[in-house]
Structure 1
Amino acid sequence: MRLKLVPETTNIDFFGYAKATFGASVIAVILSLVAWLMLGLNFGIDFRGGTTIRTESVQAVDIGAYREAIDPLGLGDVTITEVFDPTFGPEKNVAMIRIQAQDDQESVAADTIAKVEETLQQVDPSITFPSVESVGPKVSGELIQTALIAVGASLAAILFYIWLRFEWQFSVGAVAALFHDVILTIGVFSVLQIRFDLATIAALLTIIGYSINDTVVIFDRLRENLIKYRKRDLREVMNLSVNETLSRTLMTSGTTLLALIALLVLGGDVIRGFVFAITWGVIVGTYSSVYVAKNVVLYLGVNREDKPTDKGNQFANIDA
């Protein structure tokens, strides 16, 4: 027996309210941009600068106790992570403490570092501080810019491939869906003031990959059906294509969300922002694959006169 989240055959009219769903998406993007401009983002250490303190101790690292001791100092964004290395002996327990810059300075003042060290020594008298390093936002900005250029070039190549593989209307729809997903995610981070750091950038890139994959799967079935049903109205063919891939879409998104929700609840504070971004991205990415990318194709129309007369290709036979 196979698990089925939807009936074998569905006939949901996804595009019955195309104008309303597309209009809602446009309004959501505009509101997200307004929130971004008005409220800004709660940048983490990667963007604001700060100081990294490396600790070593004989006792096991207790991240909860470290955080409980540092929080009363009111230092803002503090990230504490334990460092694991197979070369470390049982008496060498290492942690990295990252503290955001205070008063718009690139690094934390020496007296603040001294207070942190003194506070941690009260928690663990054996603790030592072998290194203290400053993290400047300028260096992080250059790394982010280089990464975005590289990913942007890859994304442009993917979109160019979609243009060649399908038609230019499909490529425009895919770009609109990706733009929708990224802007809505940034908008949520702005409204909720969730910490925005390099991990969030990685989450945004993951969202782009997930969304484009889901979009291409439905595009491929749509192209096959445009050849099969040359006499049908474009809206009907698009509804048919989404219904045929609905089981696959819900199964993929559902199982992904199960893992993400578990990480969101049990993963701890260090990865919560990253996991939240991907969780939100999976939801809006699934939505945009139908109600943004396909709506754009519906409005732009597709030239069906030059379609071949065969029944499709082996790549379009998706087991939905």
Structure 2
Amino acid sequence: MRLLRLVPDDTKFGFMQYRRVSFPLSAILSILTVVLFFTVGMNFGIDFRGGTLIELQAKSGEADLAAIRAKAGSLGFGDVEVQTFGGPDQVLMRFGLQGDSEQAQQSLVSAARGAFETDYDFRRIEVVGPRVSGELVQSGTLGVVVAVIGVLIYLWFRFEWQFAVGAVIATLHDLVLTIGFFALTQIEFNMTSIAAILTIVGYSLNDTVVVYDRIREMMRKYKRLSIADMIDVAINSTLSRTVMTSVTTFLALLALAIYGGTVIESFSYAMIFGVVIGTYSSIFIAAPVLIYLGAQMGSESEAGEKAQAAAQRSAP
């Protein structure tokens, strides 16, 4: 029985010839991300902004958005966002922070119940006060920073310094572009988005380490090849695994995006983008960085051989 091969064994695609395109492209996209972040901004959810989110479902027929918006505005709690989601009978209302006390938020919920419970069922209510939202911002930011530092420490001991720096550059590249994705699409950025970013870091790092392991192996095996040709050989040898992993992960995430609903919408769409950008960065960013950082053919094996010889000389 012949096994399925997504990528032929004799593939010899020249990935490194595109490094002069991938680096400027990624640099431009990173600059655009910074511009978008400071001009357009992020669509922060109530996890970070604080406020009240109420999910309604009409008891009969379709929801009347205009009537809901008018009635919610007449409650006297400031501006309110009203939108449909899922089906025509489902509505999402978002109210801003009501003062500095948790009691003010609860007063809003009570007023909303009195105004809408006759015609609508209350399916979900989320209330986040100013103190909680501030703590969530700090915790989320700290989580991302600690993850990146942990990646740096792990790679510094796992590989030579060129590999460690290359992996960190690729990981930061994925983080920046993922932030740009949220700023461009205006998908709500909440705590599930932080979970998606941390997952993307792990996925991208795993893909990069697989490529780096093969590059390091090829450095010992093909000492007479140029560094660019050797990296092409290494990437082509892992291409079947990379394609299989990326495609299966993408299909699972696509199912989540279609059928998962709005609760995990930000997670599933961000992860789909992260899988694509993580695969791209491990091949077109992390690998060619080694060329610019001056990684030497056979340097690691020679260092190991010298260490082994020194140990043998010092042995009694």
- Scaled to the shorter chain, the TM-score interval is 0.7 to 0.9
- Aligned residue for 1:186? 179
1:236 Cα deviation (Å)? 0.5
Shift of 1:16: 0.8
Alignment of 1:243 with 2:249, yes or no, is no
Q: Are 1:284 and 2:277 counterparts? A: yes
Q: Does 2:88 correspond to 1:102?
A: no
Name the counterpart of 1:314: none
Q: Which moved more, 1:253-262 or 1:297-306?
A: 297-306
**Residues 1:66 and 1:164: Cα distance change in structure 2 (over 3 Å):** farther
Per-residue deviation, 1:117: 3.9
Amino acid at match of 2:182: F
| Residue of 261, 268, 276 corresponding to 1:268 | 261
Find the residue that maps to 2:301 and give its secondary structure.
coil
Amino acid at match of 1:101: F
Deviations 1:115-139 (A, max 9, x none): 3443133235xx799xx88412432
Asked if 1:232 corresponds to 2:233, the answer is no
Q: Distance in 1 between matches of 2:251 and 2:32?
A: 29
Change (3 A) 1:36 1:64: farther
- 2:73 aligned residue: none
Contact 2:193–2:267 (CA under 8 A) maintained in structure 1: yes
Give 1:275's aligned amino acid: S
**Which residue does the alignment assign to 1:123?**
120
Deviation at 1:157, TM superposition (A): 2.8
Q: Does the CA contact (< 8 Å) of 1:264 and 1:275 recur in 2?
A: yes
1:33 is aligned to 34
Residue number in structure 2 paired with 1:221: 214
Query: What is the aligned partner in structure 1 of residue 193 from structure 2?
Result: 200
Query: Kindly tell me: are residues 133 and 268 of structure 1, through their superposed partners in 2, closer, same or farther at Cα, counting changes over 3 Å?
Result: closer
- The one-letter code sitting in structure 2 at the alignment partner of 1:36 is F
Instruction: Give yes or no for contact 1:79–1:270 (8 Å, CA) kept in 2.
Output: no
8 A Cα contact 1:70 1:119, kept in partner: no
Match of residue 81 from structure 2: 76
Query: In structure 2, what is the Cα distance between the partners aligned to 1:272 and 1:239?
Result: 37
Written as runs of structure 1 = structure 2, the 5 A alignment for 1:27-176 is 27-51=28-52, 63=57, 69=63, 71-72=65-66, 73-74=68-69, 75-76=80-81, 100-102=94-96, 108=105, 110=107, 113-123=110-120, 134-176=127-169
SS of residue in 1 equivalent to 2:28: helix
Corresponding letter in the other structure for 2:185: L
Classify 1:163/1:115 alpha carbon distance in 2 versus 1 (closer, same or farther; 3 Å).
closer
**What is the alpha-carbon distance in structure 2 between the residues aligned to residue 220 and residue 77 of structure 1?**
51
| Structure 2 CA distance for partners of 1:111 and 1:216, relative to 1, 3 Å | closer
CA contact (8 A) 1:32 1:183 kept: yes
Q: Percent identity?
A: 42
Report the CA distance between 1:112 and its aligned residue. Answer: 7.0
5+ long unaligned stretches in structure 2: 70-79, 306-316
Deviation at 1:147, TM superposition (A): 4.6
1:6 corresponding residue in structure 2: 7
Q: Which moved more, 1:295-304 or 1:70-79?
A: 70-79
CA RMSD of aligned residues (A): 3.3
The CA deviation at 1:111 is 5.8
Counterpart CA distance in 2 for 1:203 and 1:135 is 21
Residues 52, 94 of structure 2: 8 Å contact kept: yes
- List alignment gaps of at least 5 residues for structure 1: 56-61, 82-96, 312-320
**Structure with more of its chain in helix, by fraction:** 2
In structure 1, C-alpha distance between the alignment counterparts of 2:123 and 2:278, rounded to whole Å: 46
Q: Is contact 1:211-1:282 (8 Å) kept?
A: yes
Matched AA of 2:177? L
Cα deviation code 1:34-83 (max 9, x no counterpart): 11111001111111111367x9xxxxxx85769964854343278999xx
* Cα contact 1:44–1:100 (8 A) shared by 2: no
C-alpha separation in 1, matches of 2:274 and 2:106: 38
Q: Which moved more, 1:171-180 or 1:281-290?
A: 171-180
Offset at residue 305 of structure 1 (A): 5.6
The separation in 1 between residues aligned to 2:61 and 2:30, in whole angstroms, is 37
Distance 2:136 2:201 in 1: 19
Match of residue 299 from structure 1: 292
Relative to structure 2, which stretch is displaced further, 255-264 or 142-151?
142-151
